[in-house]
């Protein structure tokens, strides 16, 4: 069949909407459904009279089988098979497919046997119905196994005959269109299943119109309020941009007329789910999504696509890096088009797709177009116009689809577990996902590049919050290790563990990232507020005042806090104290302001308190009060990476702007430079009597270069009961000695001295010392 004959049969339906109005949403309005057999017959004009007689017999059989059965909406059940058959007729499927669509639920719901179907309608039709039948009558250990076996059977039947999946997709599409009467929990479960399985299959086979409509229907079921809001936003944007669209359309048509290139120009609109997904991926609002509207140009030949591209780039300036040639390199489902993004007359970005009529047919109908192209129906051939141009795009898409269908058979040969088979197929549908197992063989899907931390949060947020280590395939692994499909991951937790801020640099899932950020923000706020309270009380003590009561019953105290928060621009006392703890506000300045309010209210400084405050702060000239450090303050108190102070060191605190308290060694050169530049932000800190964790510090070790030198150093440190957090070595190998820079965890200076003594006893160690980074 020539390209023209192929397009003549499929394109009138595919392009019909383009003549009704300029903008046609990509998930176009559904065609009129067949609600009776007479309405279905009107769609079957492309079939022969013998075929129509067989279809009528199949209808009578299905009508009898479903007699007395009703849908959740209250309609007779037979209306559903008729509608499914009508969708198949829109794809111009053959008589066997229409009959199978009419009888697709007879084995599943009414107990009709496959043998009975073979006797009445022949083996091919019976095989199609059997491939569509779920296995509800068989006993499986879990519902998931039942579902997996059903998919396995359907997909393998599809690998033998692609019409199975076409009918199945028509079945699911009609079910999704008529889901209003279904219970909400069941409706959401079916929508999620459709979005995860059926919509990707439709996309993988090039059924893009079906794919987009399934996506939008699932979006409406899963997020009804978001769907409604986006629908209104798109409708408003459509009206707002009509003028620029009509102007651009006119200029494009004029330019192509001047170059004598035949072209059909139509508007295209991104479907709602694609808009929603892009907004989520880019964390953007609706106004930031620029490619909601665009143009589609349909030309007569592949060479004209590139000529059209040249005309467009002469007419409007192209956006660099936004050109894609899917004609030379088709997508995996056979899709072909040129994509380019242009600057419109008003400066907004507009995406334009350029394709031939045959490419457009394949882009919309996918494998259904391939199947129609292969049909040897004489009635179609008689009506088809003559032509020698071959449908190369359909042939290439047919080849790619055949390769994927064959892969299903290969997977089945190696996999006998239906659940494992389904997961293999899912992986094939989502090439950007990895599928990993829990120790109990539960399968989790994660984005490619996901780590053990992502896995932990996918199990449960509490598991993620208390993760300390991981084992992958039975072996210890770093938490930042990227997971691969098939990995068995075990998470090790501790009740005392909590999220590490560094995890934000390694996680890939939004769930893990949001949970970590929420935890850190909550903990940081609480700790910063507690630190701010201590600092403010100490600073107020230096003014001879005590912190006033913040209680609505105490009118005087409440009035003072109201004045202070109004002056500071904070909403309440907690927010003000948090700002002090984070260094956004200086405690002494806030204390002086509150003191002035208290004096105005008749409260005088207490000489005894004033003496205590001055005495406590007279050393080192600090102005923020004394804070005790035990290592358990978390994000509100950090230790300077330049000097890495440990208990026993003389320390001082620097209150960074919005960074909390940073503890430096008193002899740190960096700290001294900061003190000279900004002395008001320094405060006195001391080590608490009871410490809550070990502390890290930098150690320099000079060793004789030789075999096993590093191992002996590590053994000495382990013998002294210290841990190595990081190690760095000089790259040179030819020198007699080599420098090793370590970051080790110790309890205090006494413990560090014990580590040094152990290292010096090692025969390979020549020198050991502590060092500070500038």
Minimal CA–CA distance to 629: which of 687, 548, 586? Answer: 687
Task: Specify the 3-state DSSP secondary structure of 325.
Answer: strand
Q: Quick check: 277 and 33 in contact, CB under 8 A? A: no
What are the φ and ψ backbone dihedral angles of 688, each rounded to 5 degrees?
-75, 160
Minimal CA–CA distance to 755: which of 711, 721, 725? Answer: 721
CA–CA separation, 624 vs 608, rounded Å? 19
* CB count in 10 Å sphere of residue 111: 10
What are the φ and ψ backbone dihedral angles of 499, each rounded to 5 degrees?
-60, 145
What are the φ and ψ backbone dihedral angles of 294, each rounded to 5 degrees?
-160, -170
- SS3 labels along 635-701: HHEEECCCCCCCECECEEEEEECCCEEEEEECCCHHHHHHHHHCHHHEEEEEECCCCCCCEEEEEEE
pLDDT for res 752: 93
Q: Quick check: 92 and 46 in contact, CB under 8 A? A: yes
Contacts with 476 (C-beta within 8 Å, 6 or more apart), sequence order: 469, 470
Which H or E run contains 536?
Answer: helix 510-542
Calculate mean pLDDT across residues 716-731: 86
Q: Quick check: 497 and 468 in contact, CB under 8 A? A: yes
pLDDT for res 631: 77
Q: Quick check: 508 and 457 in contact, CB under 8 A? A: no
CA–CA separation, 50 vs 241, rounded Å? 52
* CB count in 10 Å sphere of residue 201: 24
pLDDT for res 302: 87
* CB count in 10 Å sphere of residue 389: 16
Task: Specify the 3-state DSSP secondary structure of 378.
Answer: helix
pTM for the predicted model, two decimal places: 0.49
CA–CA separation, 499 vs 361, rounded Å? 52
CA angle, 675 then 679 then 685, to 5°: 80
Which H or E run contains 279?
Answer: helix 272-282
**Does 289 score more than 80 pLDDT?**
no
pLDDT for res 56: 92
> Which band of pLDDT confidence, cut at 50, 70 and 90, is reported for residue 442?
confident
Tokens representing 363?
């882009």
User: For 143-152, 175-184, 241-250, 563-572, which range has the lowest pLDDT when averaged over its residues?
Assistant: 143-152
Minimal CA–CA distance to 198: which of 154, 236, 239? Answer: 154
pLDDT for res 531: 74
**Does 637 score more than 70 pLDDT?**
yes
- Exposure string (b/e) for 673-709, b if CB count within 10 Å is 16 or more? ebbeeeeebbbbbebeeebeebbbbbbebebeeeeeb
> Which band of pLDDT confidence, cut at 50, 70 and 90, is reported for residue 21?
very low
Q: Quick check: 764 and 704 in contact, CB under 8 A? A: yes
Q: Quick check: 198 and 172 in contact, CB under 8 A? A: yes
CA dihedral 452, 480, 448, 158 (to 10 degrees): -30
| Alpha-carbon distance values, 51 to 35, 58, 149, 743 (Å) | 20, 11, 33, 81
The model's pLDDT over 520-562, given as tens digits with 9 standing for 90+, comes to 777 767 777 777 787 788 778 777 888 887 777 778 888 888 8
The mean pLDDT of the chain is 77
Minimal CA–CA distance to 695: which of 762, 748, 738? Answer: 748
Calculate mean pLDDT across residues 426-441: 66
User: For 262-271, 348-357, 408-417, 524-533, which range has the lowest pLDDT when averaged over its residues?
Assistant: 408-417
Q: Concatenated DSSP letters for 161-213? A: -THHHHHHHHHHHHHHHT-TTS-HHHHHHHHHHIIIIIHHHHHHTT-HHHHHH
pLDDT for res 624: 47
CA–CA separation, 458 vs 462, rounded Å? 10
> Which band of pLDDT confidence, cut at 50, 70 and 90, is reported for residue 402?
low
The model's pLDDT over 323-379, given as tens digits with 9 standing for 90+, comes to 888 787 677 567 788 999 888 777 777 889 999 888 887 777 666 654 444 443 433
CA angle, 492 then 496 then 498, to 5°: 75
Most confident of 34-48, 294-308, 439-453, 555-569: 294-308
Minimal CA–CA distance to 490: which of 466, 517, 456? Answer: 456
Query: Which residues is 342 bridged to in the sheet?
Result: 318, 350
Calculate mean pLDDT across residues 157-169: 77
- Exposure string (b/e) for 717-742, b if CB count within 10 Å is 16 or more? beebebeeeeeeeeeeeeeeebebeb
CA–CA separation, 431 vs 589, rounded Å? 58
pLDDT for res 389: 37
CA–CA separation, 749 vs 100, rounded Å? 82
Q: What percent of the chain has pLDDT over 90?
A: 13
User: For 18-32, 119-133, 406-420, which range has the lowest pLDDT when averaged over its residues?
Assistant: 18-32
Q: Concatenated DSSP letters for 469-515? A: EEEETTEEE-TTPBP-TT-BEEEEE-TT----GGGGGT---HHHHHH
Tokens representing 392?
């190369």
pLDDT for res 432: 56
pLDDT for res 334: 72
CA–CA separation, 547 vs 557, rounded Å? 9
H-state helical runs in 16-162: 37-42, 49-65, 79-90, 95-102, 106-110, 114-121, 123-132, 143-160
Task: Specify the 3-state DSSP secondary structure of 725.
Answer: strand
CA–CA separation, 568 vs 576, rounded Å? 7
The residues that are catalytic are: 108-109
> If you search the block for the tokens 């053990």, which residue do you land on?
452
**Does 722 score more than 80 pLDDT?**
yes
| Alpha-carbon distance values, 541 to 121, 546, 594, 612, 680 (Å) | 96, 6, 12, 7, 17
More confident residue, 212 or 586: 212
pLDDT for res 422: 59
Half-sphere exposure of 2 (CA within 13 A, CB side): 12
pLDDT for res 59: 92
Contacts with 452 (C-beta within 8 Å, 6 or more apart), sequence order: 467, 470, 472, 477, 478, 479, 480, 481, 483, 489, 491
CA–CA separation, 708 vs 190, rounded Å? 61
Contacts with 9 (C-beta within 8 Å, 6 or more apart), sequence order: 46, 92, 372, 380, 383, 384
Q: Quick check: 198 and 214 in contact, CB under 8 A? A: yes
What are the φ and ψ backbone dihedral angles of 508, each rounded to 5 degrees?
-120, -20
Q: What percent of the chain has pLDDT over 70?
A: 76
| Alpha-carbon distance values, 221 to 218, 402, 484, 486, 553 (Å) | 5, 33, 32, 32, 51
**Does 4 score more than 50 pLDDT?**
no
**Length in residues, the chain:** 774
Contacts with 666 (C-beta within 8 Å, 6 or more apart), sequence order: 649, 650, 651, 652
pLDDT for res 484: 85
More confident residue, 7 or 435: 435
């Amino acid at each position: 069949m020539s390209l023209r004959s192929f397009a003549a049969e499929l394109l009138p339906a595919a392009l019909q909407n383009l003549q009704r109005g300029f903008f046609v949403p990509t998930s176009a309005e559904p065609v009129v459904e067949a609600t009776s057999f007479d309405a279905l017959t009107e769609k079957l004009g492309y079939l022969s009279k013998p075929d129509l007689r067989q279809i009528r017999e199949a209808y009578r059989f299905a009508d009898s089988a479903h007699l007395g059965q009703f849908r959740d909406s209250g309609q007779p059940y037979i209306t559903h098979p008729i509608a499914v058959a009508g969708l198949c007729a829109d794809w111009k499927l053959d008589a066997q497919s229409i009959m199978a669509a009419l009888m697709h639920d007879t084995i599943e719901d009414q107990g009709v046997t496959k043998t009975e179907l073979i006797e009445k309608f022949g083996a091919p039709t019976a095989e199609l119905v059997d491939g569509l039948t779920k296995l509800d009558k068989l006993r499986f250990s879990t519902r998931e196994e039942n579902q997996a076996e059903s998919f396995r059977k359907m997909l393998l039947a599809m690998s033998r005959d692609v019409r199975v999946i076409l009918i199945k997709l028509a079945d699911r599409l009609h079910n999704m269109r008529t889901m209003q009467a279904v219970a909400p929990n069941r409706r959401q479960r079916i929508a999620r299943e459709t979005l995860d399985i059926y919509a990707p299959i439709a996309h993988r086979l090039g059924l893009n119109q079906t794919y987009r409509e399934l996506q939008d229907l699932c979006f409406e079921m899963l997020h009804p309020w978001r769907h409604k809001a986006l629908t209104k936003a798109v409708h408003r944007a459509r009206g707002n941009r009509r003028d620029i669209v009509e102007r651009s359309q006119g200029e494009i048509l004029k330019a192509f007329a001047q170059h004598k290139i035949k072209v059909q120009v139509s508007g295209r609109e991104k479907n709602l789910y694609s808009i929603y997904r892009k907004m989520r991926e880019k964390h953007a609002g609706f106004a930031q999504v620029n490619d909601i509207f665009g143009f589609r140009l349909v030309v007569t030949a592949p060479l004209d696509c590139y000529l059209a591209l040249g005309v467009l780039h002469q007419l409007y300036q192209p956006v660099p890096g936004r050109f894609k040639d899917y004609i030379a390199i088709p997508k995996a489902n056979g899709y072909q088009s040129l994509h380019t993004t242009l600057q419109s007359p008003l400066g907004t970005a507009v995406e334009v797709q350029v394709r031939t009529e045959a490419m457009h047919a394949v882009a919309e109908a996918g494998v259904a177009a391939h199947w129609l192209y292969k049909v040897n129906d004489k009635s179609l051939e008689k009506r088809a116009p003559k032509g020698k141009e071959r449908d190369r795009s359909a042939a290439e898409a047919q080849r790619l689809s055949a390769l994927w269908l064959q892969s299903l058979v290969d997977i089945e040969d190696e996999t006998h577990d239906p659940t494992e088979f389904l997961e293999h197929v899912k992986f094939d549908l989502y090439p950007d996902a990895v599928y990993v197992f829990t120790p109990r063989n539960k399968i989790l899907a994660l984005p490619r590049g996901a780590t053990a931390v992502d896995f932990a949060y996918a199990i449960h947020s509490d598991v993620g919050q208390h993760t300390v280590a991981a084992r992958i395939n039975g072996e210890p692994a770093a938490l930042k290790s990227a997971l691969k499909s098939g990995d068995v991951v075990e998470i090790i937790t501790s009740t005392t563990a909590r999220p590490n801020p560094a995890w934000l640099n390694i996680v890939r899932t939004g769930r893990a990232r949001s949970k970590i950020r929420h935890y850190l923000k909550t903990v940081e706020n609480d700790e910063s507020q507690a630190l701010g309270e201590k600092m403010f009380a100490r600073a107020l003590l230096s003014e001879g005042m005590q912190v006033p009561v913040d209680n609505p019953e105490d009118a005087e105290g409440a009035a003072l806090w109201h004045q202070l928060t109004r002056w500071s621009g904070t909403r309440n006392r907690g927010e003000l104290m948090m700002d002090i703890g984070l260094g956004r506000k200086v405690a002494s300045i806030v204390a002086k302001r509150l003191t002035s309010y208290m004096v105005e209210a008749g409260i005088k400084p207490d000489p005894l308190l004033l003496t205590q405050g001055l005495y406590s702060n007279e050393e080192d000239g600090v102005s923020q009060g004394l804070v005790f450090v035990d290592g358990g303050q978390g994000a509100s108190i950090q230790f300077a990476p330049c000097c890495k102070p440990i208990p026993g060191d003389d320390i001082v605190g620097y209150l960074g702007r919005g960074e909390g308290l940073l503890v430096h060694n008193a002899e740190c050169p960096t700290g001294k430079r900061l003190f000279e530049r900004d002395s008001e932000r320094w405060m006195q800190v001391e080590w608490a009597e009871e410490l809550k964790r070990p502390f890290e510090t930098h150690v320099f070790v000079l060793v004789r270069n030789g075999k096993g030198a590093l191992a002996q150093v590590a053994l000495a440190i382990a013998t002294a009961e210290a841990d190595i957090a990081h190690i760095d070595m000089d790259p040179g190998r030819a020198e007699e000695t080599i420098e090793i820079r370590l970051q080790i965890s110790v309890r205090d200076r006494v413990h560090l001295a014990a580590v040094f003594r152990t290292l010096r006893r090692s025969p390979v160690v020549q020198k050991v010392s502590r060092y500070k980074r500038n």
